[in-house]
Chains A and B, each alone.
Chain A
Amino acid sequence: MTTTTTSTPKLATDPAGDNLRFYGVWLAGILALVVLPLVFSSGGSVTSFSLIGIAIVFALSYNILLGQTGLLSFGHAVHYGLGGFAACHMMNAVVSHGWPIPLPFIPLFGGLGGLVFAVIIGWVMTKRAGTVFAMISLGIGELVASSSLILRSVFGGEAGITTDRTALPKMFGWSFGPQIQVYYLIAFWLVLSAIAMYALTRTPLGRISNAVRDNPERVQFIGYDPHVVRYIAFCFAGFFAGVAGGLAAINFEIANSAYLGAIQSGLVLFSTFIGGTAYFFGPILGAILVTYLQLGLTSVTSVWQLYFGIIFIGIVMFSPGGIAGLVMMHRPLVRAGTLGTVIPAYLVAIVPTLALACGVILSIEIVARFSGGEPINLFGIGFKPQSPVTWITAAVLLVVGGFVARLSWLRVADAWDRAATVARDRGYLA
């Protein structure tokens, strides 16, 4: 999973070691999926892990468009939602007709739901990339989302379509009533989808998608129709988004219009971008972080969306490569053995950066809770939003923290440049 989607650097390492590391990362990932719910076995954790699994499949499917083919979609949740509805209808049909289809096969029908819509709508949508594609995707997203409230027979109106996952034929004696069983079903489909989507990046189509992303004009002069390339990539993205939607339908036992709306589309864009689009594992990190933030922040603050926005702007401005980009920046340093020289600068920078972050949080919460809100609890310390002491604390943290943080960041940049130069001199570019 550490291989880039853009190139396969094979610098001065032996292929056997590369292979070992490659499969090692995947096996470690799978092992983590199996073991995690055993270690953190509370109901809340297993529910969170299930949501994260779904979010990862969804974000990876989105990155087929954004990271690999260069298509910015504002309506990817359409395929997710239609996958969810397809899965719900299928589950209900299986139950009412007594078909011998157990629950673990249902996400496949979710995928087909997402795929069919992509096949129908994709040809027109992918004619152009860039702004045209983005605008059409926004329009289609709104169109489908509003249709879902109007076409009651298919989408069930406001209430949506409900289903009962335990009513399907059993498999291995599992009823899929308990959340832990649903978690393992999601984990299974996550592994399957992730392997399939990774494999896709290593095919002729996957590489040509990268070429279309980089330079659609030139692609035409090496024999390829960029429209066809975008269309096929779009269909794959639609399929895997549908799988994610199907998993969500199983998890919640309902599909409704919220599945295919703009908020869901925005969230997947957000996760993928924050994680980093240039690396396969970027969206995985993004989905984990965003899902956790979503679950965690909503319980502590009413303005959690504001924090999302700030994080997003921060990433766009300071690290356009996302978290994965930040991580992979350090690969040449690790290889050249110069990582140790930047660590002290990082440690020094942590303190003022945290102070600045606390200043920002305190300021936001003062505004949010000024009229009749609850007291602010920041790392166990209570602050009254109406008290001047709180305001002064916030101001001091903001100004002093901000000033010192800036200085410390300059030192970080200095240290990093020196380490990177050494690494480059030793022949490690990536």
Chain B
Amino acid sequence: MTAAAIEVRAVDKRFGNVGIIRDLNLSVAKGERHAIIGPNGAGKSTTFNLISGHIEPTAGEVRLNGDVISGLRPFEINRRGLSRSFQVTNVFARMSVWENVRCAVLWATGHRYAFWKNVDSLPEVRERTAKILDDIHLMHRRDVPAGLLTYAEQRELEIGITIASGATVVMLDEPTAGMSHAETDRAVALIRRLTEGKTLVIVEHDMSVVFGLADRISVLVYGHIIASGTPEEIRRDPKVKEAYLGEEAH
């Protein structure tokens, strides 16, 4: 049996005496689209931070494709093929849209800290950047500083930066938060297309997005996963109904 893309084993995270995450177990198979849902304050973003190396687990371990990654720095985890977006838009505000995406392409194309190459004359970087800008429909805004984009455009750029490195495991933290219906539909189509053949972990509040997009869903309540399964299983699970879907299910 091949290793899961992401394997979280018995992870605890305490801030002082407060346990935010308790005995968290999560397994995401390669190529799967996995959604994490749960009420506000359940620890969804903390889970993302734990997996992506933003914070370190107090106990337990996280594996990426079978290798332990807990304790590694975020950039080390990123170099192993895991990329994440942020719930609050987190772009390079003073740099142009083009520069934003290009920066995210540079490490993956092997240019690293090079100070002897002209960044404008790297054909593979240029092509990859152009392709991603086409994919996220921002080519016409390429020279605009990212800080001046509309909110929806910034969210799209956020996704573009996240996938630019070509990571095989992509984690999106509420990619459609604050979007209108039309914008959400567009973003979901975009996510579906861009994560084709990749492993996707997504935190999302919009249930139509979750049930439309995910192969499997995990429900997080008070820092603990109470159920994991297909959308059908989750819909029927009495514990989930009680804890979470009860008041929000359509």
Residue positions of A touching B, CB distance < 8 A? 6-11, 199-200, 202-208, 210-211, 213-215, 217-225, 228-229, 232, 236, 278, 429-430
Contact = CB atoms under 8 A, between A and B. Distances in A.
B74 interface: yes
Contacts of B114: 203-205
A216 to B, nearest CB: 10
B90 A218 contact: yes
Q: Which of A7, A202, A210, A211 is packed against the most chain B CB atoms within 10 Å?
A: A7
Given A6-B95, A9-B96, A204 B111 contact: yes
Q: Which of A8, A207, A223, A430 is packed against the most chain B CB atoms within 10 Å?
A: A223
Given A7-B96, A208-B106, A211-B95, A223 B115 contact: no
B76 to A, nearest CB: 8
Nearest to A429: B144
Given A8-B143, A221-B75, 16 more contacts: A8-B120, A9-B96, A203-B116, A203-B119, A204-B113, A204-B115, A205-B113, A207-B102, A207-B103, A207-B106, A207-B119, A211-B103, A218-B90, A222-B75, A224-B75, A429-B148
B33 interface: no
A223 B79 contact: yes
B125 to A, nearest CB: 8
A202 B120 contact: yes
A223 B78 contact: yes
A207 B112 CA distance: 11
B145 A222 contact: no
B55 interface: no
B75 A215 contact: no
A398 B92 CA distance: 44
The size class of the interface chain B forms with chain A is: 35 or more
A156 to B, nearest CB: 35
Contacts of B104: 222
B78 A221 contact: yes
B83 A221 contact: yes
A49 to B, nearest CB: 30
Q: Which of A7, A202, A204, A228 is packed against the most chain B CB atoms within 10 Å?
A: A204
Contacts of B148: 429
A342 to B, nearest CB: 22
Given A223-B78, A224-B107, A203 B91 contact: no
B74 A221 contact: yes
A210 B99 contact: yes
Nearest to B146: A214
A278 B148 CA distance: 17
B118 interface: yes
A336 to B, nearest CB: 16
B115 A203 contact: yes
Contacts of A214: 92-95
B93 A222 contact: no
Interface string B79-95: 10001101000111111
A220 B78 contact: yes
A91 to B, nearest CB: 29
Nearest to B93: A214
A222 B144 CA distance: 21
Nearest to B52: A221
Contacts of B111: 204
Contacts of B73: 220, 225
Contact of A220 (B75, B98, B99, B117): B75
B78 A210 contact: no
B161 interface: yes
A60 to B, nearest CB: 16
A205 to B, nearest CB: 4
A397 to B, nearest CB: 40
25 contacts: A7-B143, A8-B98, A8-B99, A9-B143, A11-B143, A199-B118, A200-B115, A202-B120, A203-B116, A203-B117, A204-B106, A204-B113, A205-B113, A210-B99, A211-B95, A215-B92, A220-B75, A221-B75, A221-B84, A222-B75, A223-B75, A223-B106, A223-B165, A278-B94, A429-B148
